[in-house]
Amino acid sequence: MQRIIMTAENSVAKALRSVGERIQAASVQRTSTIPSVEPRLVAVSKTKPVSMILEAYQTGQRNFGENYVQELVDKSHDATIREQCTDIRWHYIGHLQSNKVKKLLSSPNLYMVETVDSRKLASELEKHWSKETDRGTLRVFVQVNTSGEANKSGVSPEECSGVVRHLFDNCPSLEFAGLMTIGSFDHSLDDGPNPDFQCLIRCREDVCKECSLDIDKVELSMGMSHDFEHAISVGSTNVRVGSTIFGAREKAKSKSEPPVKNKEEPA
Protein backbone atom coordinates (compact mmCIF):
# COMPACT_ATOMS: atom_id res chain seq x y z
CA MET A 1 0.00 0.00 0.00
CA GLN A 2 2.80 2.44 0.88
CA ARG A 3 4.43 1.89 -2.52
CA ILE A 4 1.16 2.73 -4.30
CA ILE A 5 0.78 5.89 -2.25
CA MET A 6 4.29 7.04 -3.01
CA THR A 7 3.75 6.42 -6.72
CA ALA A 8 0.62 8.56 -6.66
CA GLU A 9 2.40 11.30 -4.75
CA ASN A 10 5.36 11.29 -7.10
CA SER A 11 2.96 11.63 -10.00
CA VAL A 12 1.57 14.81 -8.41
CA ALA A 13 5.00 16.43 -8.32
CA LYS A 14 5.67 15.41 -11.90
CA ALA A 15 2.31 16.73 -13.07
CA LEU A 16 2.85 20.04 -11.28
CA ARG A 17 6.16 20.54 -12.99
CA SER A 18 4.57 19.81 -16.35
CA VAL A 19 1.68 22.21 -15.74
CA GLY A 20 4.12 24.88 -14.59
CA GLU A 21 6.14 24.54 -17.77
CA ARG A 22 2.97 24.78 -19.87
CA ILE A 23 1.89 27.90 -17.98
CA GLN A 24 5.25 29.54 -18.56
CA ALA A 25 5.18 28.68 -22.27
CA ALA A 26 1.65 30.04 -22.68
CA SER A 27 2.59 33.25 -20.83
CA VAL A 28 5.53 33.90 -23.11
CA GLN A 29 3.36 33.48 -26.20
CA ARG A 30 0.92 36.24 -25.21
CA THR A 31 0.56 39.25 -27.47
CA SER A 32 2.39 42.43 -26.53
CA THR A 33 -0.87 43.99 -25.28
CA ILE A 34 -1.14 41.41 -22.48
CA PRO A 35 1.33 41.47 -19.57
CA SER A 36 3.63 38.44 -19.66
CA VAL A 37 3.40 37.90 -15.89
CA GLU A 38 3.06 34.22 -14.99
CA PRO A 39 -0.52 33.47 -13.87
CA ARG A 40 -1.32 32.06 -10.47
CA LEU A 41 -1.92 28.31 -10.49
CA VAL A 42 -4.70 27.08 -8.21
CA ALA A 43 -4.40 23.34 -7.73
CA VAL A 44 -7.96 22.05 -7.38
CA SER A 45 -7.70 19.39 -4.69
CA LYS A 46 -11.39 18.60 -4.18
CA THR A 47 -12.06 14.96 -3.17
CA LYS A 48 -8.29 14.36 -3.00
CA PRO A 49 -6.54 13.10 0.16
CA VAL A 50 -4.32 15.15 2.42
CA SER A 51 -1.30 13.13 1.26
CA MET A 52 -1.63 14.55 -2.25
CA ILE A 53 -1.94 18.10 -0.94
CA LEU A 54 1.22 17.60 1.12
CA GLU A 55 3.10 16.32 -1.90
CA ALA A 56 1.99 19.29 -4.00
CA TYR A 57 2.93 21.70 -1.22
CA GLN A 58 6.35 20.12 -0.82
CA THR A 59 6.87 20.60 -4.56
CA GLY A 60 6.29 24.33 -4.09
CA GLN A 61 2.55 24.68 -4.76
CA ARG A 62 0.84 27.13 -2.40
CA ASN A 63 -2.63 27.90 -3.82
CA PHE A 64 -5.27 25.17 -3.52
CA GLY A 65 -8.92 25.25 -4.56
CA GLU A 66 -11.90 23.47 -3.03
CA ASN A 67 -15.52 23.30 -4.21
CA TYR A 68 -17.29 22.19 -1.05
CA VAL A 69 -17.43 24.17 2.18
CA GLN A 70 -17.18 21.23 4.55
CA GLU A 71 -14.26 19.71 2.65
CA LEU A 72 -12.33 22.98 2.74
CA VAL A 73 -13.08 23.42 6.45
CA ASP A 74 -11.92 19.88 7.22
CA LYS A 75 -8.73 20.12 5.18
CA SER A 76 -7.79 23.57 6.43
CA HIS A 77 -8.12 22.33 10.02
CA ASP A 78 -6.22 19.09 9.39
CA ALA A 79 -3.42 18.88 11.97
CA THR A 80 -0.77 17.75 9.47
CA ILE A 81 -1.61 20.49 6.99
CA ARG A 82 -1.62 23.10 9.77
CA GLU A 83 1.81 21.91 10.91
CA GLN A 84 3.55 21.33 7.58
CA CYS A 85 1.80 23.83 5.26
CA THR A 86 1.97 27.04 7.26
CA ASP A 87 1.61 29.38 4.29
CA ILE A 88 -0.91 27.40 2.24
CA ARG A 89 -3.53 29.59 0.54
CA TRP A 90 -7.04 28.21 0.19
CA HIS A 91 -9.35 29.36 -2.62
CA TYR A 92 -13.05 28.61 -2.43
CA ILE A 93 -14.23 27.97 -5.99
CA GLY A 94 -17.65 26.36 -5.59
CA HIS A 95 -21.15 27.79 -5.44
CA LEU A 96 -21.52 29.39 -2.02
CA GLN A 97 -24.85 29.56 -0.21
CA SER A 98 -25.31 32.42 2.25
CA ASN A 99 -26.04 30.03 5.12
CA LYS A 100 -22.63 28.39 4.65
CA VAL A 101 -20.61 31.62 4.77
CA LYS A 102 -19.88 31.61 8.50
CA LYS A 103 -18.64 28.02 8.36
CA LEU A 104 -16.43 28.73 5.34
CA LEU A 105 -14.85 31.77 6.96
CA SER A 106 -13.76 29.67 9.94
CA SER A 107 -11.16 28.04 7.66
CA PRO A 108 -7.54 28.87 8.56
CA ASN A 109 -5.48 30.32 5.71
CA LEU A 110 -8.54 31.18 3.62
CA TYR A 111 -7.05 33.36 0.88
CA MET A 112 -9.81 34.01 -1.61
CA VAL A 113 -13.47 33.41 -2.42
CA GLU A 114 -13.72 33.21 -6.21
CA THR A 115 -17.48 32.85 -6.51
CA VAL A 116 -19.25 35.98 -5.29
CA ASP A 117 -22.37 35.97 -7.45
CA SER A 118 -24.74 38.45 -5.78
CA ARG A 119 -24.90 41.55 -3.63
CA LYS A 120 -26.55 39.42 -0.94
CA LEU A 121 -23.62 37.01 -0.80
CA ALA A 122 -21.12 39.88 -0.77
CA SER A 123 -22.96 41.47 2.16
CA GLU A 124 -23.04 38.17 4.05
CA LEU A 125 -19.30 37.73 3.58
CA GLU A 126 -18.75 41.29 4.77
CA LYS A 127 -20.97 40.76 7.82
CA HIS A 128 -18.92 37.82 9.08
CA TRP A 129 -15.44 38.68 7.80
CA SER A 130 -15.60 42.15 9.36
CA LYS A 131 -15.49 40.38 12.72
CA GLU A 132 -12.17 38.71 11.78
CA THR A 133 -10.24 41.82 12.78
CA ASP A 134 -6.83 40.14 12.81
CA ARG A 135 -7.03 38.53 9.35
CA GLY A 136 -6.91 41.57 7.07
CA THR A 137 -9.18 41.93 4.04
CA LEU A 138 -10.56 38.89 2.23
CA ARG A 139 -9.87 38.76 -1.51
CA VAL A 140 -12.87 38.01 -3.70
CA PHE A 141 -13.65 37.48 -7.37
CA VAL A 142 -17.06 38.25 -8.82
CA GLN A 143 -18.27 35.22 -10.76
CA VAL A 144 -19.84 35.96 -14.13
CA ASN A 145 -22.08 33.53 -16.00
CA THR A 146 -20.62 34.29 -19.40
CA SER A 147 -22.32 31.38 -21.18
CA GLY A 148 -25.82 32.14 -19.90
CA GLU A 149 -26.36 28.51 -18.90
CA ALA A 150 -29.07 28.00 -16.28
CA ASN A 151 -27.07 25.32 -14.43
CA LYS A 152 -24.19 27.70 -13.70
CA SER A 153 -23.89 30.30 -11.00
CA GLY A 154 -22.72 33.83 -11.60
CA VAL A 155 -24.09 37.26 -12.31
CA SER A 156 -25.00 38.21 -15.85
CA PRO A 157 -22.46 40.37 -17.70
CA GLU A 158 -24.93 43.26 -17.41
CA GLU A 159 -25.08 42.93 -13.61
CA CYS A 160 -21.35 42.57 -13.09
CA SER A 161 -20.45 46.23 -12.57
CA GLY A 162 -23.29 46.67 -10.09
CA VAL A 163 -21.97 43.89 -7.85
CA VAL A 164 -18.44 45.32 -8.05
CA ARG A 165 -19.73 48.77 -7.06
CA HIS A 166 -21.57 47.16 -4.14
CA LEU A 167 -18.27 45.66 -2.94
CA PHE A 168 -16.53 49.03 -3.03
CA ASP A 169 -19.43 50.95 -1.48
CA ASN A 170 -20.59 48.51 1.19
CA CYS A 171 -17.94 45.87 1.87
CA PRO A 172 -14.75 47.46 3.26
CA SER A 173 -13.55 44.14 4.68
CA LEU A 174 -13.52 42.55 1.23
CA GLU A 175 -10.92 43.24 -1.44
CA PHE A 176 -12.20 43.08 -5.01
CA ALA A 177 -9.48 41.20 -6.90
CA GLY A 178 -11.12 40.48 -10.26
CA LEU A 179 -13.63 38.47 -12.25
CA MET A 180 -14.10 34.71 -12.63
CA THR A 181 -15.93 32.48 -15.09
CA ILE A 182 -16.23 28.76 -15.75
CA GLY A 183 -17.03 28.84 -19.44
CA SER A 184 -18.39 26.12 -21.70
CA PHE A 185 -16.61 22.80 -22.03
CA ASP A 186 -17.70 22.11 -25.59
CA HIS A 187 -16.02 25.05 -27.34
CA SER A 188 -13.55 24.08 -30.06
CA LEU A 189 -10.62 26.40 -30.66
CA ASP A 190 -10.99 25.53 -34.34
CA ASP A 191 -13.93 27.94 -34.20
CA GLY A 192 -11.79 30.73 -32.76
CA PRO A 193 -11.16 32.11 -29.24
CA ASN A 194 -13.48 30.93 -26.48
CA PRO A 195 -16.42 33.39 -26.48
CA ASP A 196 -16.85 33.01 -22.72
CA PHE A 197 -13.31 34.23 -22.14
CA GLN A 198 -13.85 37.09 -24.56
CA CYS A 199 -17.01 37.99 -22.68
CA LEU A 200 -15.14 38.11 -19.35
CA ILE A 201 -12.48 40.33 -20.92
CA ARG A 202 -15.20 42.75 -22.04
CA CYS A 203 -16.76 42.62 -18.57
CA ARG A 204 -13.45 43.70 -17.09
CA GLU A 205 -13.27 46.61 -19.53
CA ASP A 206 -16.78 47.70 -18.55
CA VAL A 207 -16.12 47.33 -14.82
CA CYS A 208 -12.90 49.31 -15.01
CA LYS A 209 -14.58 52.07 -17.00
CA GLU A 210 -17.63 52.31 -14.73
CA CYS A 211 -15.69 52.01 -11.47
CA SER A 212 -12.57 53.95 -12.54
CA LEU A 213 -10.21 51.03 -11.97
CA ASP A 214 -6.78 50.27 -13.42
CA ILE A 215 -7.39 47.39 -15.83
CA ASP A 216 -3.97 45.89 -15.10
CA LYS A 217 -4.96 45.49 -11.44
CA VAL A 218 -8.19 43.58 -12.09
CA GLU A 219 -7.53 39.85 -12.43
CA LEU A 220 -9.25 37.33 -14.67
CA SER A 221 -9.81 33.83 -13.28
CA MET A 222 -10.54 31.59 -16.25
CA GLY A 223 -9.16 28.35 -17.58
CA MET A 224 -9.17 24.78 -16.25
CA SER A 225 -7.44 21.51 -17.07
CA HIS A 226 -8.74 21.34 -20.63
CA ASP A 227 -8.23 24.97 -21.66
CA PHE A 228 -5.88 26.78 -19.27
CA GLU A 229 -3.24 27.42 -21.93
CA HIS A 230 -5.75 29.13 -24.22
CA ALA A 231 -7.10 31.10 -21.23
CA ILE A 232 -3.58 32.32 -20.42
CA SER A 233 -2.95 33.26 -24.05
CA VAL A 234 -5.91 35.67 -23.96
CA GLY A 235 -5.15 37.14 -20.55
CA SER A 236 -6.07 34.88 -17.62
CA THR A 237 -4.16 35.66 -14.44
CA ASN A 238 -5.53 32.77 -12.37
CA VAL A 239 -6.07 29.22 -13.65
CA ARG A 240 -7.81 26.40 -11.79
CA VAL A 241 -6.32 23.01 -12.63
CA GLY A 242 -7.37 19.80 -10.91
CA SER A 243 -7.50 16.51 -12.83
CA THR A 244 -4.34 17.28 -14.82
CA ILE A 245 -2.45 17.48 -11.52
CA PHE A 246 -4.23 15.02 -9.23
CA GLY A 247 -5.90 12.64 -11.69
CA ALA A 248 -9.60 12.03 -12.25
CA ARG A 249 -11.63 13.20 -9.30
CA GLU A 250 -13.86 11.07 -7.12
CA LYS A 251 -17.45 11.94 -6.32
CA ALA A 252 -17.79 14.10 -3.24
CA LYS A 253 -18.37 12.02 -0.13
CA SER A 254 -20.41 14.68 1.64
CA LYS A 255 -24.15 14.16 1.31
CA SER A 256 -24.90 17.49 2.96
CA GLU A 257 -23.46 19.60 0.17
CA PRO A 258 -24.75 18.48 -3.22
CA PRO A 259 -23.49 20.54 -6.15
CA VAL A 260 -26.58 22.70 -6.52
CA LYS A 261 -25.16 24.65 -9.43
CA ASN A 262 -21.98 24.81 -11.44
CA LYS A 263 -22.56 21.40 -13.00
CA GLU A 264 -19.35 21.91 -14.92
CA GLU A 265 -17.21 22.52 -11.88
CA PRO A 266 -13.73 24.05 -12.04
CA ALA A 267 -11.01 21.42 -12.34
Across the chain, what does the average pLDDT equal? 90
Write out pLDDT tens, residues 88-117.
999 999 999 999 999 999 999 999 999 999
Which amino acid, 211? C
Q: Which structural domain range is residue 212 located in? A: 2-246
* C-alpha neighbours within 13 Å on the C-beta side of residue 257: 23
At residue 6 the predicted structure's pLDDT band, cuts being 50, 70 and 90, is very low
Mean pLDDT confidence for 57-81: 98
Whether 264 maps to a domain, the answer reads no
Whether 262 maps to a domain, the answer reads no
pLDDT, position 262: 52
pLDDT, position 263: 47
- CATH code where residue 208 lies: 3.20.20.10
Closest CA to 146 of 221, 180, 196: 196
| pLDDT over threshold 50, residue 173 | yes
Q: How many domains does the chain have?
A: 1
Q: Which of 6-20, 167-181, 200-214, 224-238 has the lowest mean pLDDT?
A: 6-20
pLDDT, position 251: 62
Whether 144 maps to a domain, the answer reads yes
Q: Please, what is the Cα angle at 66 between 15 and 131, to 5 degrees?
A: 140
At residue 265 the predicted structure's pLDDT band, cuts being 50, 70 and 90, is low
What is the DSSP annotation of the chain? -HHHHHHHHHHHHHHHHHHHHHHHHHHHTS-TTS--PPPEEEEE-TT--HHHHHHHHHHT--EEEES-HHHHHHHHH-HHHHHH-TT-EEEE-S---GGGHHHHHTSTTEEEEEEE-SHHHHHHHHHHHTT-TTS-PEEEEEEB-TT--TTS-SB-TTTHHHHHHHHHHH-TTEEEEEEE----S---GGG-S-HHHHHHHHHHHHHHHHHT--GGGSEEE---TTTHHHHHHTT-SEEEE-HHHH-SPPPP--SS----S-SS---
Give percent above pLDDT 70 in the chain: 89
Whether 20 maps to a domain, the answer reads yes
Whether 252 maps to a domain, the answer reads no
Mean pLDDT confidence for 193-217: 95
Measure the CA–CA gap between 186 and 171, rounded to whole angstroms.
36
Whether 257 maps to a domain, the answer reads no
Whether 59 maps to a domain, the answer reads yes
Write out pLDDT tens, residues 161-171.
999 999 999 99
Measure the CA–CA gap between 102 and 124, rounded to whole angstroms.
9
Write out pLDDT tens, residues 22-38.
999 999 888 888 877 78
At residue 124 the predicted structure's pLDDT band, cuts being 50, 70 and 90, is very high
Whether 263 maps to a domain, the answer reads no
